[in-house]
């Protein structure tokens, strides 16, 4: 068991990240308990102790945390839909925070919501830890991660997209930005990275974006973000979407972004002539 810090619980949304975290925990001698989110989780959890919970059912979550003596919780995977007011169920410990929680769920940005959820979970006597604390091998390193590296034009696009992603993150809107020829052509909203890149591909096909210049995707942590939840994540689908959008590569913050299906993702990027690059924000222009 990692650090003898008590049983680990994994709140599992969609995608492969919860699987990687659960497998890494088990490989380290843990016996993780999985909370697949109803209508969100898209993996089978029959090989692990698990109980399906609704996104807004904090009362059931608290009961299961107590019953299974869970002391640490990881929040992992994507969640597409926020609960409606009538889907939020709480216990007495949550009750004092309910007005704040409801207001945040209904009108706050993703980072505000995640911070609120972390506070509510920790009010149950648990400690929330990051996916990267359990599976540090998922973190992107500094520099080129595959065979290809950004050229001078790519580096100018990286600098431009970094500024845009930083500003976007400060507004608690999204984590990604696309620059083509130094021009910001797309900012990530609630649709997510892949849908944003699909929009770039459509704009390129319509002639709204230069066919001669390729461009770059940059994904950054929001400056105010609690890094225990929702670190920028890229994987095979990101590479496919970058290729379809005609971009030359993707850059993420080293040590603060997750690279899923690393071998397959980088192999796919190498074959498509796409760079994957880990940034040091203090050293970048």
The helix (run of H) or strand (run of E) holding residue 105 is helix 98-107
The model's pLDDT over 148-185, given as tens digits with 9 standing for 90+, comes to 999 999 999 999 999 999 999 999 889 999 999 999 99
pLDDT reading at 30 higher than 90: yes
pLDDT reading at 4 higher than 80: no
In this predicted structure, what is the pLDDT of residue 102?
56
In this predicted structure, what is the pLDDT of residue 155?
96
Q: Which long-range contacts (CB under 8 A, 24 or more apart) does 264-267 make?
A: 264/236, 265/234, 265/235, 265/236, 265/238, 265/239, 266/145, 266/146
In this predicted structure, what is the pLDDT of residue 34?
97
pLDDT reading at 103 higher than 70: no
In this predicted structure, what is the pLDDT of residue 113?
72
Please state, in angstroms and rounded to a whole number, the distance separating the CA atoms of residues 132 and 130: 5
The model's pLDDT over 208-266, given as tens digits with 9 standing for 90+, comes to 998 889 999 999 999 988 899 889 999 999 999 999 999 999 999 999 999 999 999 99
In this predicted structure, what is the pLDDT of residue 88?
62
In this predicted structure, what is the pLDDT of residue 237?
94
**Distances from the Cα of 10 to the Cα of 67, 94, 277, angstroms:** 15, 20, 29
In this predicted structure, what is the pLDDT of residue 2?
45
Interval 71-96 mean pLDDT: 71
> Which residues sit opposite 14 in a β-bridge?
78
Please state, in angstroms and rounded to a whole number, the distance separating the CA atoms of residues 95 and 70: 21
Lowest mean pLDDT among 59-63, 87-91, 176-180: 87-91
- Structure confidence at residue 1 as a pLDDT band (50, 70, 90): very low
In this predicted structure, what is the pLDDT of residue 94?
57
What are the φ and ψ backbone dihedral angles of 238, each rounded to 5 degrees?
-65, -45
Nearest partner of 146 among 233, 275, 246, judged by Cα: 275
């Amino acid at each position: 068991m990692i650090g003898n810090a008590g049983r680990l619980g994994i709140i599992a949304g969609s995608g492969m990240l919860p699987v990687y975290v659960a497998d890494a925990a088990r490989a380290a001698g843990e016996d993780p308990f999985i909370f697949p989110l109803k209508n969100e989780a898209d993996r089978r959890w029959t090989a692990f102790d698990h109980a399906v919970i609704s996104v807004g059912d904090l009362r059931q979550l608290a009961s299961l945390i107590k019953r299974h003596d869970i002391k640490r919780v990881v929040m992992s995977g994507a969640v597409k839909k926020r609960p409606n007011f009538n889907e939020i169920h709480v216990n007495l410990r949550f009750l004092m925070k309910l007005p704040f929680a409801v207001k945040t769920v209904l009108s706050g940005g993703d980072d505000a919501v995640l911070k609120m959820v972390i506070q509510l979970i920790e009010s149950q006597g648990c400690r929330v830890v990051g996916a990267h604390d359990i599976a540090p091998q998922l973190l992107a390193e500094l520099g080129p991660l595959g065979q290809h590296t950004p050229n001078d034009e790519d580096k100018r696009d990286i600098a431009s997209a970094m500024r845009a992603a930083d500003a976007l993150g400060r507004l608690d809107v999204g984590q990604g930005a696309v620059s083509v020829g130094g021009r910001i052509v797309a900012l990530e909203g609630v649709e997510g990275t892949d849908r944003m890149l699909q929009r770039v591909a459509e704009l390129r096909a319509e002639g709204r974006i230069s066919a001669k210049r390729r461009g770059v995707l940059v994904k950054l942590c929001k400056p105010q973000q609690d890094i225990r939840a929702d670190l920028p994540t890229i994987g095979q689908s990101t590479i496919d979407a970058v290729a379809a959008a005609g971009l030359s590569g993707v850059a993420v913050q080293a040590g603060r972004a997750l690279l899923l299906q690393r071998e397959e993702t980088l192999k796919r990027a190498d074959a498509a002539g796409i760079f994957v690059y880990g940034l040091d924000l203090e050293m970048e222009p």
